[in-house]
């Protein structure tokens, strides 16, 4: 219905996200062996996560402006070329200093995937389909998490960690071939889009008040409370996701004595829950909007439900005493996270026009990393005897994310409409 080109666009971006997560997870999965060969410690790993996240934070804001300046096609091309070269160069690491440099370049370049996806979503989808499109994109991150642990473990057994880094570095360059061939332009000027689909996309933007392509200066963007609602919601919520992306293999190794092959057997399970949550959150929002509930009700319901799932699951994980129970509970946590985050990530396009989406997505992504850095620094301190304290801290910050979205962001509607509408 209304053509299919937009679904091909988001599907291809979702595939890039799969590659993104395979690349970033490779070091965590192979760390037990890499650390032995280069003489590194758990504190060194925390440093590497911190370096990655700092540059990932910078990359979110940097690429948000880059995508708004040079467009979606070339923005993704620049991002994926740099990150693919960075991960391939991990094969030549013999000590910590080079690894620090490569984690920095990987972080800043991989960050481009998220503001780029938010911008593509705003350009290619009407508001009623946006959360489901975001869910497809986020499912790519989850699928990358599912695939990465067993794939990397298999490649490690066959080729060692150096060969594995080289092989996964090639994946991004393979992805560029269909991307550059297929993504010729945005929907207004794409040579292969039907008139019906183009009109459907553009009318959906106009209905939501999102047809403004004006680039909003950063200072003006930050004067709106809606921007701070998005920024703070991600500041509090994203650390939960990154806790498991960065530390799940280490948690399994330290808590249950797993080696690389055992990590490969278990570490993919939670990301099945994440993938299902990505699709469910988008489907739920679309269902509510389609039934006449409106964007505000859809976003609020999905975000509230996701947080309500995460909170008890985090608390139960504190008492998990076997690996199967632990990974199933973490699957529930990540299901709830993705149900919520897919809708939070659509808020920039719900609040502002197309010219500001990349910028706000990038700034909020930077805030998300800032929150994550705090938990990263705390993990080695709080997990000397068990991971229970860090799980308890994660449970405590989940409600803060919802309150930031609801109380600071306010009603979900285009900012331009505020003057015409009374406060909720």
pLDDT in tens, 55-83: 988 887 788 788 878 888 999 999 999 99
Q: Which long-range contacts (CB under 8 A, 24 or more apart) does 118-121 make?
A: 118/345, 118/346, 118/348, 118/349, 118/357, 118/358, 118/361, 119/67, 119/68, 119/72, 119/75, 119/354, 119/357, 119/358, 119/361, 120/9, 120/10, 120/13, 120/72, 121/10, 121/346, 121/349
pLDDT at 281: 92
Name every residue whose Cβ is closer than 8 Å to that of residue 258 and which is 6 or more positions away in sequence: 249, 252, 266, 323
Q: C-alpha angle with apex 212: 209 to 217, nearest 5 degrees? A: 120
For 422, residues 6+ apart whose C-beta sits below 8 A from its C-beta are none
Helix (H) or strand (E) holding 80: helix 72-89
CA distance 2 to 7: 11
pLDDT of residue 396: 95
Are 57 and 373 in contact by the 8 Å Cβ rule? The answer is yes
Give the per-residue pLDDT at 207: 46
Position 214 scores a pLDDT of 56
- pLDDT tens digits for the chain (424 residues)? 466 888 888 899 999 999 998 998 899 889 989 999 999 887 898 899 889 988 988 887 788 788 878 888 999 999 999 999 999 999 999 989 999 999 999 999 999 988 888 888 878 888 778 778 878 877 888 888 888 888 998 999 999 999 999 999 999 999 999 999 988 887 888 888 888 888 888 876 544 444 455 566 777 888 889 999 999 999 999 999 989 988 888 899 889 988 878 888 888 899 999 989 988 998 999 899 888 898 899 999 999 999 999 999 999 999 998 999 999 999 999 999 999 998 998 888 888 765 677 778 778 888 988 898 888 888 888 888 889 999 999 999 999 999 999 999 999 888 864 433 433 3
The predicted pLDDT at position 299 comes to 94
Q: Are 327 and 270 in contact (CB under 8 A)?
A: yes
Task: Give the per-residue pLDDT at 208.
Answer: 42
Q: Please tell me whether residue 40 adopts helix, strand or coil conformation.
A: coil
């Amino acid at each position: 219905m209304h053509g299919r080109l937009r679904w091909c666009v988001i599907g291809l971006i979702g595939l890039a996200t799969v590659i993104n997560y395979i690349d970033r997870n490779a070091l965590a999965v192979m760390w037990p062996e890499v650390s032995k060969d280069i003489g590194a410690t758990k504190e060194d790993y925390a440093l590497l996560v911190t370096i990655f996240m700092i540059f990932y934070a910078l990359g979110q804001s940097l690429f948000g402006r880059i995508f708004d300046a040079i467009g979606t096609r070339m923005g993704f091309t620049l991002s994926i070329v740099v990150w693919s070269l960075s991960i391939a160069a991990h094969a030549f690491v013999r000590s910590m200093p080079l690894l620090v440099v490569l984690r920095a370049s990987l972080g800043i370049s991989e960050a481009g995937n998220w503001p780029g996806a938010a911008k593509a979503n705003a350009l290619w989808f009407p508001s009623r389909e946006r959360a489901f499109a975001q869910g497809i994109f986020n499912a790519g991150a989850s699928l990358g998490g599912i695939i990465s642990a067993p794939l990397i473990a298999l490649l490690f057994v066959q080729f060692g960690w150096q060969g594995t880094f080289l092989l996964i570095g090639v994946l991004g360059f393979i992805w560029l071939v269909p991307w550059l061939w297929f993504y010729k332009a945005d929907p207004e000027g794409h040579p292969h889009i039907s008139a019906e689909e183009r009109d459907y996309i553009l009318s959906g933007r106009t209905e939501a008040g999102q047809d403004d392509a004006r680039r909003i200066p950063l200072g003006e963007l930050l004067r709106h409370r809606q921007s701070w609602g998005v920024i703070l919601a991600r500041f509090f919520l994203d650390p939960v996701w990154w806790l498991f992306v960065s530390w799940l293999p280490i948690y399994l190794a330290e808590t249950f004595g797993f080696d690389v092959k055992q990590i490969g057997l278990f570490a993919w399970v939670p990301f099945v829950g994440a993938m299902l949550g990505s699709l469910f959150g988008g489907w739920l929002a679309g269902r509510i909007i389609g039934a006449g509930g409106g964007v505000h009700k859809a976003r609020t319901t999905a975000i509230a439900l996701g947080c309500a799932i995460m909170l008890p699951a985090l608390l139960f994980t504190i008492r998990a005493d076997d690996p199967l129970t632990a990974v199933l509970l973490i699957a529930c946590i990540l299901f709830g996270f993705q149900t919520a985050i897919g809708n939070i990530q659509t808020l920039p396009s719900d609040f502002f026009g197309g010219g500001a989406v990349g910028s706000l997505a990038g700034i909020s992504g930077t805030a998300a990393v800032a929150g994550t850095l705090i938990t990263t620094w705390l993990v080695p301190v709080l997990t000397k005897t068990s991971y229970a304290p860090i799980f308890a801290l994660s449970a405590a910050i989940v409600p803060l994310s919802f309150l930031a979205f609801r109380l600071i962001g306010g009603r979900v509607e285009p900012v331009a409409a505020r003057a015409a509408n009374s406060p909720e």
